[in-house]
Amino acid sequence: MTTVDRSGSTSKSIAQLQSDVANFVSDRDWEKFHAPRNLAIAITVEAAELIDLFKWSADRAGIKKLIPGLRDELADVMIYCLSLCNQLGLDASEVIEAKLAKNNTKYPVERYKGRWR
């Protein structure tokens, strides 16, 4: 399913992206390399590459120059997360929705708005 976000651009649903990732992996016969442990390691490697982009850029102005790299590294992290969901037989949307529900209970707005603890 394709949805329209507030800016008017169209985007795919998480379910469709999860399916696209599964097809990408399957088309290349990479399932044999995608054990959950390997994917978890890949996620941490890509997350480290994401944070590495921020190493020498502390201000918002500097971040603008990083956007192309940030887009790529964020995509890598998310693709590996979707692939891990595929390997574990999890629906990424359900996983996210369940965690958001837990977080809503754990961090009620009236207590945490504008605060981190």
Task: Encode pLDDT of 45-92 as tens digits.
Answer: 999 999 999 887 767 777 888 899 999 999 999 999 999 999 999 999
CA distances from 69 to 15, 82, 97, 100, 107 (A): 25, 20, 28, 28, 32
Amino acid 9: pLDDT:
66
C-alpha to C-alpha distance for 39 and 23, rounded to whole angstroms: 16
- Compute the distance between CA of residue 108 and CA of residue 117 in angstroms, rounded to an integer: 11
pLDDT, residue 117, reads 79
Report how far residue 54's alpha carbon sits from residue 114's, in angstroms, rounded to the nearest whole number. Answer: 24
pTM for this predicted structure? 0.85
